[in-house]
């Protein structure tokens, strides 16, 4: 058993780690952490101080990262499953966030632009948004699974049309929710010091962990992603499983949409969650998962999502020139993606072997 082998010395331990898929995103986190500590020793300071409503809440860069990375981490969950089963990615998640977010605001505002009170309970709005998100996912999933269109092409449709649909749901107005009780989903629950988005993310992670443990979703999606025909001959319904992953992603989109619109209690269809689909796909890739489908590591994807947020926050903290921001991000991303490629991981592990000749092969 690989994981029960005794590694001899640090070299062996290192190599064992390097071989693990989760190594790269964790290493990236560590490097970013060290870098930030050198640049600004207060980067890790976490303080407890009252917010504008008078409740004590945690604040600090790390809290900010955990807070702002929430939507991405939630989307990474769904995107990982879609990638595993279909061997492709959903590029419409940003646009469907606009749809689901618009649905939430439409119901909360009851069609008015900025009513003084909520016109419906938030839970109702959220559930309807879940239905909308899952419908969008079902649309994508049906195209991919039953019409056998490549995922990127199939989801291009909603990618293009989604934001217009979002605008149409609210009659092209930009509703604003004035009731402060709605802001808790993107802010703080009174009396709780941890940002709500992070709590929601933790809940999602717990749910997906339980789902993966108590259902066969993980085995089935990987099996379908690796060998569809073989899966079919083992009694699986590959089309349905692909379809299902898109619907699950739709649900993740609805949750992310709730957080997004709650953060500012409003929506702007053309810019809300802009480019988040690329970050979500990147999170899956940074997790060392094959974008062509098959085996996946959910934890690695989620950590990948926080790596991306960490990077964004770091770049803001460094105050890099606005014009150069995309370039900095691109350089770091390229480095990470190259490092997490399996062939490179192997090379690194071989290098480790050469450098520590004493750490003998474990026979």
Partner 1 sequence: MKENAILEMKGIYKIFPGVRALQDVDFTLCKGEIHALMGENGAGKSTLIKVLTGVYEKDGGDIFLEGLGKAAVIRSPQDAQKLGISTVYQEITLCPNLSVAENMYIGRGDGAVQNWKKMNADADKILQNLDIPARGAQQLSSCSIAIQQMVAIARAVDMDCKVLILDEPTSSLDEKEVEKLFGLMRDLKKRGVGIIFVTHFLDQVYEVCDKITVLRDGKLVGEYEIKDLPRVQLVSKMLGKELDDMSDIKSDALAYKGKDADTNVFEAVGLQSNADIKPFNFHIKKGEVNGFTGLLGSGRSECVRAIFGADRVIAGNVKKDGKEVKIKKPIDAMKLGIAYLPEDRKLDGIVGDLSVRENIILAAQVLRGAFKPFSKAETYKIADEYIKMLEIKTASADTPIKSLSGGNQQKCILARWLLTHPDYLILDEPTRGIDVGTKIEIQKLVLKLASEGMSVTFISSETDEMLRTCSRLIVMRDRKVVGELSNEELCQSSIMNTIAGGGTTDEK
Partner 2 sequence: MKKKVLAALLTTAMVSSVLVGCGSQPASAPAGDDTAAEAPAADDTAAEAPAASGDVIKVGIINNDPNESGYRTANDKSMKEMFTAANGYEASFAYSLKNDEQISAAQKFIQDGVDYLLLSAADTAGWDSVLKDAQDAGIKVILFDRTIDAPDSLYEASIVSDMAKEGETAVTWLKGQNLEEYNIIHIQGVMGSAAQKGRSGALDAQVAAEANWNLVTQQTAEWNAEKAQQIVQSVIDAGTSFNVIYAENDDMAKGAVAALDKANISHGVGKDVIVMGYDCNKWALEELLAGNWNYDGQCNPFQASYIDDIIKKLEAGETLSEKVIIMDEKGFDATTITQEDVDTYGI
Q: Which of 32, 29, 62 is nearest to 194 (CA)?
A: 62
Q: Which of 251, 261, 246, 137 is nearest to 197 (CA)?
A: 261
Is 2 an interacting residue with respect to partner 1 (CB under 8 A)?
Answer: yes
> Can you give the binding site for partner 2, defined by CB under 8 A?
40, 42-43, 49-52, 57, 59-61, 64, 68, 113-114, 143, 147-149, 153, 157, 160-161, 163-165, 167-168, 171-174, 176, 186-188, 260, 263-264, 266, 268-272, 274, 312-313, 316-317, 319, 322-323, 325
When binding is defined by CB under 8 A, the residue of 50, 54, 191, 235 that contacts partner 1 is 235
Query: Given the complex with partner 2, which of 82 and 165 has the nearer CB atom?
Result: 165
Task: Record the tokens describing residue 319, joined without a space.
Answer: 């105050």
Task: Record the tokens describing residue 114, joined without a space.
Answer: 């900025």
**Count of alpha carbons within 13 angstroms of residue 195, beta-carbon side:** 21
Q: Which of 275, 250, 295 is nearest to 83 (CA)?
A: 295
Q: Which of 100, 163, 279, 159 is nearest to 151 (CA)?
A: 159
Among partner 1, partner 2, none, what does residue 235 contact (CB within 5–8 Å per kind)?
Answer: partner 1
Cβ atoms of 151 and 82 within 8 Å: the answer is: yes
Is 113 an interacting residue with respect to partner 1 (CB under 8 A)?
Answer: no
Query: Which of the ranges 156-164, 169-177, 207-215, 255-263 carries the binding residues for partner 1, by CB under 8 A?
Result: 207-215
User: In whole angstroms, how close is the CB of 10 to partner 2 at the nearest point?
Assistant: 35
Query: Given the complex with partner 1, which of 229 and 275 has the nearer CB atom?
Result: 229
When binding is defined by CB under 8 A, the residue of 38, 123, 233, 322 that contacts partner 1 is 233
**Count of alpha carbons within 13 angstroms of residue 204, beta-carbon side:** 27
Query: Given the complex with partner 1, which of 166 and 352 has the nearer CB atom?
Result: 352
199 vs 188: CA distance, rounded Å: 10
Q: Which of 199, 180, 197, 188 is nearest to 51 (CA)?
A: 188
When binding is defined by CB under 8 A, the residue of 288, 294, 304, 352 that contacts partner 1 is 294
Cβ atoms of 90 and 82 within 8 Å: the answer is: yes
Looking at the chain, which runs of residues are DSSP E strands? Answer: 47-50, 56-59
Query: Given the complex with partner 1, which of 201 and 297 has the nearer CB atom?
Result: 297
User: In whole angstroms, how close is the CB of 334 to partner 1 at the nearest point?
Assistant: 25
Query: Which of the ranges 103-111, 173-181, 223-231, 249-257 carries the binding residues for partner 1, by CB under 8 A?
Result: 223-231
Query: Given the complex with partner 2, which of 71 and 208 has the nearer CB atom?
Result: 71
Q: Which of 141, 136, 162 is nearest to 151 (CA)?
A: 141
User: In whole angstroms, how close is the CB of 50 to partner 2 at the nearest point?
Assistant: 6
Query: Which of the ranges 91-99, 190-198, 235-243, 333-341 carries the binding residues for partner 1, by CB under 8 A?
Result: 235-243
Is 216 an interacting residue with respect to partner 1 (CB under 8 A)?
Answer: yes
Task: Record the tokens describing residue 84, joined without a space.
Answer: 């595993």
Cβ atoms of 91 and 277 within 8 Å: the answer is: yes
Binding site for partner 1 (CB under 8 A): 1-3, 5, 213-217, 219-220, 222-223, 226-227, 229-237, 294-295, 361-363
């Amino acid at each position: 058993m690989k994981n029960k082998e005794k590694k001899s010395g640090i070299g062996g331990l290192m190599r064992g780690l390097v071989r693990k898929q989760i190594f790269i995103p964790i290493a990236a986190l560590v490097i970013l952490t060290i870098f930030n500590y050198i640049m600004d020793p207060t980067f890790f300071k976490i303080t407890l101080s009252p917010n504008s409503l008078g409740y004590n809440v945690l604040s600090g860069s790390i809290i900010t990262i955990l807070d702002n990375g929430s939507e991405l981490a939630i989307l990474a969950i769904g995107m990982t499953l879609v990638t595993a089963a279909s061997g492709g990615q959903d590029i419409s998640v940003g646009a469907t966030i606009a749809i689901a977010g618009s649905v939430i605001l439409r119901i909360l505002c009851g069609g008015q632009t900025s009513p003084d009170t909520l016109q419906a309970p938030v839970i109702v709005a959220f559930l309807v948004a879940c239905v909308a998100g899952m419908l969008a996912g079902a649309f994508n999933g049906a195209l991919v699974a039953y019409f056998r269109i490549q995922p990127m092409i199939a989801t291009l449709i909603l990618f293009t049309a989604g934001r217009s649909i979002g605008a149409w749901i609210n009659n092209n107005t930009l509703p604003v929710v004035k009731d402060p009780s709605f802001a808790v989903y993107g802010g703080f629950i009174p009396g709780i010091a941890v940002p709500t988005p992070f709590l929601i993310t933790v809940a999602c992670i717990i749910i997906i962990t339980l789902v993966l443990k108590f259902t066969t979703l993980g085995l089935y999606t990987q099996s379908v992603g690796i060998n569809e025909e073989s899966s079919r001959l083992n009694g699986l319904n590959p089309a349905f499983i692909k379809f299902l992953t898109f619907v699950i992603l739709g649900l993740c989109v609805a949750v992310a949409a709730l957080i997004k619109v709650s953060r500012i209690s409003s929506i702007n269809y053309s810019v809300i969650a802009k480019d988040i689909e690329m970050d979500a796909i990147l999170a899956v890739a940074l997790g060392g998962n094959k974008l062509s489908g098959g085996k996946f590591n959910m934890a690695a994807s989620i950590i990948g999502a926080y790596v991306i947020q960490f990077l964004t926050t770091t770049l803001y903290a460094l105050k890099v020139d606005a014009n150069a921001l995309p370039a900095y991000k691109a350089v770091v991303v390229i480095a990470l993606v190259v490092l997490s490629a399996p062939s490179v991981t192997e090379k690194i592990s071989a290098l480790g072997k050469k450098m520590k000749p004493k750490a003998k092969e474990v026979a």
